[in-house]
Amino acid sequence: MFVKNKYRVSLTTDCWTSGQNINYMVLTAHFIDSDWKLHKRILSFSPIENHKGDTIGKTIEKNLKDWGIERVMTLTVDNASSNDTAVAYLLKRFNKGLLFGGEFLHVRCCAHILNLIVTDAFKEHNDCIDRIRYAVRFIRSSPARFLKFKKCIELEKIACKSYVCLDVPTRWNSTYMMLEAAVKFEKAFDRLEDEDASYRHDMSPNKEDWTNARMLIRFLKVFYDVTLKISGSLYTTSNLVFHQITVVQNCIRLNAGSANALLVGMANNMKAKFEKYWGNNEKNNLLLYVAIVLDPRKKLRFVSFCLKNFFGPEVAESMGNVVEQCCRRLFHEYSTTRSGSRQGCSSTSTTSTQTVSGLDANIDFDSNENVGEDFVYDTIVEEFEDDSITPFEQGSSEIDIYLLEANVRTEGDFDILQWWKMNSDRFEVLGQMARDILAIPVSTVASESAFSTGGRVVDSSRCSLAPKTVEALICTQNWLNSDPIHLQFQHELEEASKFEEGFRVVMENGKELEDLPDFDKLSITDY
């Protein structure tokens, strides 16, 4: 499919060690089919000698050759030195089908970077978290204590069907979920002090702890929501990630100036790590900026506006020029390599009937719930919409017409792939660019999720399964549970129709079957 349609495939990979101490590496392909549907397919779930970079690189190379895949767009990996080595190996040994020699191959997992940033916030000892963790652990330590806690819930008339959960201290998202669940039962925990003498008063959370917990929940919710948004694999994420990074940056800035010492400490711990990974935009993969340009709601003007708003006018001007040049460079590359594609389109093309818009309609700006996205939204929309649209001239190229057309405004959910499906005839070259770039995943969650399946397959009762059997089970489950891939049969049907008609003419004229020409040379008028 990839070879015939000349699609580029984006990849994610990750490694895992089973309970039987066998190292596995999963390789997942991400692509958009001819019907503009996003797909992910596990290509391999194979044993690997170790987690060294060269070993990972060689295994990826072998798997791609086994599948006959040469046109690789990107490889998204966690931020580990071994993965840097793996990427370097592929750039050296597998660069034939890479775009611009692999200049844009390496994409760092944004979810992993975000996890590193938030984990730094928990380096400081947080007493309120420790006390709430003690309270949760106490009621979950025995059935009798849990029954007493349920009695406290009933006495306080707390109407909540969910129950508290204990976190894994090394995973900040589980701590967030523990706090979010626990604060709903604050009154029940307070009553437990009177109902159970073994519940230590010096270790139980006090009023200030619950207040701090609520502020932490509000603070961490920003990062939790952003993590969920950029970890999706059933919708495009490459066009959303830059906006989400600015949301995170704004949240850190706001809380660094908070009056609450706890939030200030956490925000300052996050700031250094944020600057290390995302503070210098020149280190980011430019294709993630191009993906924003290929979002008809945003385009170059949105990129420039956000760069100016969050990183200053100097960065906005220089980076804006870099992004635009990258777009035009890609357009030229796709124009020259795409067989039968047009170099440009007529300026008489109909402009989109939708009007100019400001920001991503899928982003929920709720200042009461999410302080991270409360950054003078009304001002941004007003200023962004006031920008003028420059009319395009006769003979303008596809990319010029696309950039100069009014941005799309949406009132509800916006399906970017459906938009490109409807407009790919107008923008043939840009459409091919969008098909490849919008398929880029910004996190490795799709590959990591295979390991949860792997754990179920290679459990204690199936520990004797051979690695090849494990791979067959994992891949088959993924393929069968995925949506079918739309293939282009139109050309084959046309060829078959030609052959059928030619066969009929030959038989009617009493000619031999050897007289039937090749499909592509068939002309009924010759008979």
Nearest to 349 by CA among 411, 432, 413, 430: 430
- What's residue 288's pLDDT? 94
Read out DSSP for 29-48?
Answer: EEEE-TTS-EEEEEEEEEE-
Q: Residue 415 half-sphere exposure, CB side, CA atoms within 13 Å?
A: 10
Which amino acid, 82?
A: S
- What's residue 43's pLDDT? 93
pTM for this structure?
0.80
484-491 LR contacts (CB < 8 Å, sep 24+): 485/1, 485/33, 485/37, 485/39, 486/33, 486/34, 486/35, 486/37, 487/1, 487/33, 487/34, 488/5, 488/34
CB-based contact 300:293 (threshold 8 Å): yes
Exposed e or buried b per residue across 376-388, where buried means at least 16 C-beta atoms within 10 angstroms of its C-beta: eeeebeeebeeee
- What's residue 94's pLDDT? 86
Which amino acid, 160?
A: C
* CA dihedral of residues 110, 113, 117, 122 (deg, nearest 10): 110
- One digit per residue, pLDDT tens: the chain, 527 residues? 555 556 799 999 988 887 778 888 999 999 999 899 999 999 999 899 999 999 999 999 999 999 999 899 999 999 889 999 999 999 998 888 899 999 999 999 999 999 999 988 877 768 899 999 999 999 999 999 999 999 999 999 998 888 899 998 888 889 999 999 999 999 999 999 888 888 887 788 999 999 999 999 999 999 999 999 999 888 999 999 988 988 898 899 899 888 888 888 889 889 888 988 887 766 789 999 999 999 999 898 888 877 776 677 888 888 889 999 999 999 999 998 874 444 444 433 443 433 333 333 333 333 334 444 444 344 444 555 555 455 555 557 899 999 999 888 887 789 999 999 999 999 999 999 999 999 999 998 876 665 555 555 555 555 667 778 888 888 888 888 777 776 554 555 555 666 666 666 666 666 554 554 544 443 333 33
* 395 phi, psi to nearest 5 deg: 85, 5
Supply 467's token pair: 């690695």
Note the residue count of the chain: 527
- What's residue 48's pLDDT? 92
DSSP 393: P
- What's residue 150's pLDDT? 93
Residues 6+ apart with CB under 8 A from 183: 210, 213, 214, 217
Residues 6+ apart with CB under 8 A from 130: none
- What's residue 483's pLDDT? 76
- What's residue 497's pLDDT? 66
- Return left, alpha or beta for 345; rule: phi > 0 is left, psi -120 to 50 is alpha, else beta: beta
Supply 253's token pair: 């800035």
CB-based contact 407:389 (threshold 8 Å): no
Nearest to 80 by CA among 103, 105, 108: 108
Element at 455 (helix H, strand E): helix 445-457
- What's residue 419's pLDDT? 96
Bridge partner list, 508: none
DSSP-based three-state secondary structure for 440:
coil
- What's residue 144's pLDDT? 92
Q: Which residue has the tokens 């420059």?
A: 390
Domains and CATH numbers, the chain: 2-109+444-481 (3.30.420), 122-221 (no CATH), 280-437 (no CATH), 500-526 (no CATH)
